[in-house]
Structures are given as C-alpha cells and as structure tokens.
Amino acid sequence: MIPNTIVTLVVIGALFLFLYFRFFSSKGISQISTRQLQSIVESSSNHQYIDVRSVSEYQRGHIREFKNLPLDTLTTKMATLAKNQPIYVLCQSGMRSMKASQQLKKSGFTTIVNVKGGMNKWRGSTQ
C-alpha cells in the first residue's frame, strides 16, 4: 500500500510541475487584466498592440488599437514589430496570447505583456 501512495504522490507532483512550467512560469512576460489594459490603451500611444486571434475572430470585433497578427503567422510577421518597445498581446481567452508571448520572448523582444482573459473579459469598445 505504501509504495502505491509514493508513486501516486510522485506522479501528482510531476504533473503539478509540468502544468506550472507550461502555463504559469513565463519569466520576462508580464500579465495584466483587461481593466488594466483599458487604462493603458486610453493613456499611452507608445506601445505595440497585437491580437493573435484568427482573421475571422478579429473581424467579428476587436480593440481599435490592436493589429491582427494571427498566431499561426506570427513568426513570419515578427519583423514588423519593434523588439525594444512594449508589446501587448491579446487573444480570445489568454492561452494563444501566452503562446505568442513566449515566441516573442524567444525571439528577443524585451517587454511583453499578456492580457489575461482576452476578449472574453474585455468590456471596452470594439470595432
């Protein structure tokens, strides 16, 4: 009985570490809420804003300041972005934007901000 308990604890611990490093540990990537984003968008124009949703999702409604760079095209379009300027990354829920943020970090971008909750949590105006 005791060996099974130890194996179970080891498996649970390994699963926890995997999930933590896969989804929560993103050194060099900040996270903000959509409420925080709204004040930033209203007060600053010296940032880059990208929406990594698909073209059709973007066309159904997007934040005016955000440029559409779908996640599947991001690597080929990164050259259009400045690596030394803050970049805010948004998607529908926050998962694709985190993947995009990790890609940007690996490519040398210095200030990356992922928007938690994405468009699902956005309460501001859209186009």
Walk me through the domains of the chain, giving residue ranges and CATH numbers: 27-121 (3.40.250.10)
pLDDT 10s digits, 61-73: 999 999 999 999 9
**Dist. CA 114–CA 118, nearest whole Å:** 9
pLDDT confidence of residue 111: 94
pLDDT confidence of residue 22: 57
pLDDT confidence of residue 7: 79
Cβ neighbors of 114 (< 8 A, separation 6 or more) are 26, 29, 30, 31, 32, 89, 94, 97, 98, 101
Q: Which residues of the chain have pLDDT under 70?
A: 1-2, 16-26
- DSSP secondary-structure letter at 79? G
CB atoms within 10 A of CB 105: 15
pLDDT confidence of residue 11: 81
pLDDT confidence of residue 19: 63
Maximum Cα interatomic distance, the chain, rounded to a whole number of Å: 62
pLDDT confidence of residue 5: 83
pLDDT confidence of residue 124: 87
